Amino acid sequence: MSTRLKRLIVILLCITGIFFFLVELTNYYTRELPSIIEIVEYKPKTISRIYDRNDSLLGSFYNEKRDFISIQKIPELVRFAFISAEDKNFYKHSGYDLFGLFKAIIDFSMGQKLRGASTITQQVTKGLLLSGERSLERKFKELILATQLEKALTKDEILEIYLNEVYLGEKAYGVSAAADTYFSKELSELLPREAAFLAALPKSPEAYNPKNNRENAIKRRNFVLTEMVENGYLEPLELNIEKGAKLETIQTGELSRKSGIQLFEGFLAEDIKLEVTKRLGARFFRQGGLSIKSTIDTDLQNRAKNALNLEIENLAKTRSFFWLPFSDVKANSKITDLEGAQTFKDMRGGTSEFWQDIAVVIKKEGSDIWISTNQSTKIVKLHFFENTKPNLKVGNVIKVQEIKDTLNISSNWYYNPESFLDGGIVISDLETGEVLALEGGNKYKLDSLNHITEVKKNRFEFLKPILIVASLRKFVSDEMNIKGELIVENNIEFEKTLQKVLLSPTYSQKLNKLLGIINKQINPNEPLSMDWFDDTILDFLLSVNAVEKNLSFPNTVNIQSDLTLLSVLSAYAGLFKDEINKDPITLLLEIAKDEKKILPPTLKNKLCNSCVSSESQASLNTNTKSDILYQRTTKNQIILEMVKWELFDFGLEIVKSKDTVFFINHQFNEDLVFESVIGIVADKLFGCHIEQRQSNVYPQINMLPGRCLPLIHRITDTNMD
pLDDT at 219 over 90: yes
**Is residue 692 helix, strand or coil?**
strand
pLDDT value of residue 397: 80
Rounded to whole angstroms, the Cα distance separating 300 from 681 reads 14
b vs e for 360-373, b when ≥16 Cβ sit within 10 Å of the residue's Cβ?
A: bbbeeeeeebbbbb
pLDDT at 195 over 50: yes
Residues 481 and 462: beta-carbon distance below 8 Å: no
H-helix or E-strand spanning residue 441: none
Q: Closest by alpha carbon to 221, among 231, 236, 208, 230?
A: 208
pLDDT at 512 over 60: yes
| pLDDT tens digit sequence for 527-541 | 888 887 777 778 878
pLDDT at 64 over 70: yes
pLDDT value of residue 662: 73
Phi-psi region of 529 (alpha: psi -120 to 50; beta: other; left: phi over 0): beta
| pLDDT tens digit sequence for 678-714 | 888 888 899 999 887 654 344 444 555 567 888 888 8
**Of the ranges 113-117, 170-174, 332-336, 488-492, which is most confident?**
170-174
pLDDT value of residue 80: 96
Residue 227 CB partners (closer than 8 Å, separation 6+)? 84, 85, 88
Q: Closest by alpha carbon to 438, among 430, 450, 446?
A: 450
pLDDT at 291 over 70: yes
pLDDT value of residue 305: 93
| DSSP result, 532-545 | GS-HHHHHHHHHTT
Specify the pTM.
0.74
| pLDDT tens digit sequence for 618-660 | 222 232 223 333 333 566 666 666 555 455 555 566 666 656 7
Range name among 231-240, 381-390, 437-446, 700-709 with the lowest pLDDT average: 700-709
Rounded to whole angstroms, the Cα distance separating 487 from 482 reads 7
pLDDT value of residue 474: 74
| Average pLDDT of every residue of the chain | 76
Range name among 46-50, 275-279, 619-623 with the lowest pLDDT average: 619-623
Instruction: Kindly state the DSSP code that residue 170 receives in the 8-state scheme.
Output: T
Q: 342 versus 17: which is more confidently predicted?
A: 17
All domains of the chain in start order, with CATH: 33-244 (1.10.3810.10), 323-418 (2.40.50.140), 457-588+610-716 (no CATH)
| pLDDT tens digit sequence for 295-350 | 999 999 999 999 998 888 777 666 544 444 555 565 554 444 444 344 454 444 43
pLDDT at 369 over 50: yes
Q: 439 versus 114: which is more confidently predicted?
A: 439
Residue 211 CB partners (closer than 8 Å, separation 6+)? 249, 251, 252
User: In this prediction, what percent of the chain has a pLDDT beyond 70?
Assistant: 65
Confidence of residue 55 (pLDDT cuts 50, 70, 90): very high
Q: 660 versus 442: which is more confidently predicted?
A: 442
Question: Which residues are registered as beta bridge partners of 328?
Answer: 396
The 3-class SS string of 294-355 reads ECCCHHHHHHHHHHHHHHHHHHHHHCCCCCCCCEECECCCCHHHCECCCCHHHHHHHHCCCC
Q: 356 versus 303: which is more confidently predicted?
A: 303
